Chains A and B, each alone.
Chain A
Amino acid sequence: MSDLLSLLSMGSSAMSAQHTGVAVATNNVANANTVGYSREVVDLEAMQGPPTLGGVRSGDPTRTADGLVSGRIRDAASSLGRTAQTRDTLSDFEATLAGGAQTSDRLASVFARLQQTAAAPTDPDQRQATVASLADLVSTFHATAAAVTDARTSADAQIGTMATSATALASQLAAANKAAQSGSPAALDNRDRIAKQLTTLVGGSARVDADGQMRFVLDGGGVLVDGTHAAQLQAKPDAATGLATLSLVSGANTRDVTAQLSGGQLGGMLAARAQIVAVGDRMDQLASDVATGFNTVSQANAGADGVTGRPTFVAPAAVKGAAAALALDPGHAANPSQLATAGPGAGPGDNKGALALAALSAATVAAGGSTFTSAALAPITALAQHVADAKADATADSVVASHLDDLRDSVSGVDLTEEQTNLARFSSASQALTKFLSTINDMLSGLIQNL
Chain B
Amino acid sequence: MRVTSTHIIELASQATSRAQSKVADATGVASSGLRVQVPSDDPVAWADAQREKTRQTLSTGTGGALAASRTDVQETDSSLASLTGIVAQARQLAVQGSSTTAGPGDRSAIAAQVTALYKSALAAANAQGADGHYLLAGSQTGTEPFDAAGAYHGDGSARDITTGENVAQTVGVPGSVLTADGSADTVDILPELAKLATALGANDLVGVQGSLGTLSTATTQLGVARGKTGAALAALTDADTQRGLLETRLAGVISNLVQADGVGAASTLAQATQILNVTQAVTQHVISTLQQSA
A116 to B63, CA, bound (A): 8
In-complex Cβ contact of A342 among B54, B130, B139 (8 A) = B139
Nearest chain-B residue to A407 (Cβ)? B1
Does A213 interact with chain B (Cβ within 8 Å)?
no
Does A253 interact with chain B (Cβ within 8 Å)?
no
* In contact, B38 and A346 (Cβ under 8 angstroms): no
Does A59 interact with chain B (Cβ within 8 Å)?
no
A residues less than 8 Å from B129 (CB atoms) = 122
A residues less than 8 Å from B61 (CB atoms) = 111-116, 358
Cβ contacts A85-122/B at 8 Å (1 or 0 each): 00000010011001000101101110111111011101
A108 to B58, CA, bound (A): 6
Does A297 interact with chain B (Cβ within 8 Å)?
no
A residues less than 8 Å from B138 (CB atoms) = 347, 349
* In contact, B139 and A415 (Cβ under 8 angstroms): no
* In contact, B294 and A420 (Cβ under 8 angstroms): yes
Given A108-B53, A347-B137, A410 and B132 touching (CB < 8 A)?
A: no
Interface centre among B6, B61, B62, B171 (most CB of A within 10 A): B61
Given A119-B64, A416-B290, A384 and B39 touching (CB < 8 A)?
A: yes
Does A428 interact with chain B (Cβ within 8 Å)?
no
B residues less than 8 Å from A122 (CB atoms) = 129, 131-133, 141-142
In-complex Cβ contact of B137 among A115, A126, A349, A415 (8 A) = A349
* In contact, B6 and A415 (Cβ under 8 angstroms): yes
A residues less than 8 Å from B1 (CB atoms) = 406-407, 410
Interface bracket on B: 35 or more
Q: Which of A151-159, A255-263, A385-393 contacts B (4 or more CB under 8 A)?
A: A385-393
In-complex Cβ contact of B40 among A104, A387, A406 (8 A) = A387
* In contact, B159 and A388 (Cβ under 8 angstroms): no
* In contact, B142 and A32 (Cβ under 8 angstroms): no
* In contact, A411 and B141 (Cβ under 8 angstroms): no
Nearest chain-B residue to A90 (Cβ)? B40
Nearest chain-B residue to A374 (Cβ)? B51
* In contact, A409 and B7 (Cβ under 8 angstroms): yes
A-B CB pair tally, cutoff 8 Å: 188
Cβ contacts A260-298/B at 8 Å (1 or 0 each): 000000000000000000000000000000000000000
* In contact, A391 and B40 (Cβ under 8 angstroms): yes
Nearest chain-A residue to B47 (Cβ)? A381
Does B186 interact with chain A (Cβ within 8 Å)?
no
Does B100 interact with chain A (Cβ within 8 Å)?
no
A266 to B280, CA, bound (A): 36
* In contact, B66 and A348 (Cβ under 8 angstroms): no
* In contact, A104 and B50 (Cβ under 8 angstroms): yes
* In contact, B131 and A351 (Cβ under 8 angstroms): no
Does B183 interact with chain A (Cβ within 8 Å)?
no
Does A365 interact with chain B (Cβ within 8 Å)?
no
Cβ contacts A341-355/B at 8 Å (1 or 0 each): 010001111110001
Does B238 interact with chain A (Cβ within 8 Å)?
no
A132 to B294, CA, bound (A): 73
Given A94-B40, A391-B40, A358 and B162 touching (CB < 8 A)?
A: yes
A residues less than 8 Å from B154 (CB atoms) = 347
Nearest chain-A residue to B8 (Cβ)? A415
A323 to B256, CA, bound (A): 33
Interface centre among B133, B142, B162, B290 (most CB of A within 10 A): B162
A415 to B162, CA, bound (A): 77
B residues less than 8 Å from A377 (CB atoms) = 47, 50-51
Given A94-B38, A377-B47, A384-B40, A416 and B5 touching (CB < 8 A)?
A: yes
Does A361 interact with chain B (Cβ within 8 Å)?
yes
B residues less than 8 Å from A119 (CB atoms) = 64-66, 68-69, 72, 159, 161, 171
Does A187 interact with chain B (Cβ within 8 Å)?
no
Interface centre among A32, A104, A384 (most CB of B within 10 A): A384
* In contact, B6 and A120 (Cβ under 8 angstroms): no
Does B32 interact with chain A (Cβ within 8 Å)?
no
B residues less than 8 Å from A373 (CB atoms) = 51, 54
A residues less than 8 Å from B43 (CB atoms) = 381, 384-385, 388
* In contact, B62 and A109 (Cβ under 8 angstroms): no
Nearest chain-B residue to A413 (Cβ)? B4
Interface bracket on A: 35 or more
In-complex Cβ contact of B38 among A105, A118, A351, A384 (8 A) = A384
In-complex Cβ contact of A348 among B42, B62, B141 (8 A) = B141
Does B185 interact with chain A (Cβ within 8 Å)?
no
* In contact, A115 and B58 (Cβ under 8 angstroms): yes
Given A348-B141, A414-B6, A383 and B39 touching (CB < 8 A)?
A: yes
Among B143-165, those with CB < 8 Å from A are: 154-155, 157, 159-162
Does A241 interact with chain B (Cβ within 8 Å)?
no
A350 to B270, CA, bound (A): 61
Does B92 interact with chain A (Cβ within 8 Å)?
no
Does A48 interact with chain B (Cβ within 8 Å)?
no
Among B1-45, those with CB < 8 Å from A are: 1-7, 10, 14, 38-43
A residues less than 8 Å from B168 (CB atoms) = 355
A373 to B55, CA, bound (A): 10
Nearest chain-A residue to B174 (Cβ)? A349
Does B166 interact with chain A (Cβ within 8 Å)?
yes
A420 to B292, CA, bound (A): 13
Does A367 interact with chain B (Cβ within 8 Å)?
no
Does A52 interact with chain B (Cβ within 8 Å)?
no
Nearest chain-A residue to B155 (Cβ)? A347
A358 to B293, CA, bound (A): 77
Given A342-B139, A409-B4, A420-B294, A116 and B68 touching (CB < 8 A)?
A: yes
* In contact, A108 and B54 (Cβ under 8 angstroms): yes
A residues less than 8 Å from B141 (CB atoms) = 122, 347-349
Residues on B close to A: CB < 8 A? 1-7, 10, 14, 38-43, 46-47, 50-51, 53-54, 57-58, 60-62, 64-66, 68-69, 72, 129-134, 137-142, 154-155, 157, 159-162, 166, 168, 171, 290, 293-294
14 contacts between A and B (CB under 8 A): A98-B38, A111-B58, A112-B62, A114-B61, A115-B62, A118-B161, A119-B69, A361-B58, A381-B47, A388-B41, A414-B4, A414-B6, A417-B294, A420-B294
Q: Which 6 A-B pairs have the closest CB atoms?
A: A112-B61, A349-B141, A384-B39, A387-B40, A350-B139, A119-B65
Given A112-B61, A119-B64, A119-B159, 18 other A-B residues pairs in contact with their CB atoms under 8 A: A94-B40, A105-B50, A109-B57, A115-B64, A119-B66, A119-B161, A347-B138, A348-B133, A348-B139, A349-B139, A355-B162, A374-B51, A377-B51, A384-B40, A384-B46, A388-B40, A409-B6, A416-B4
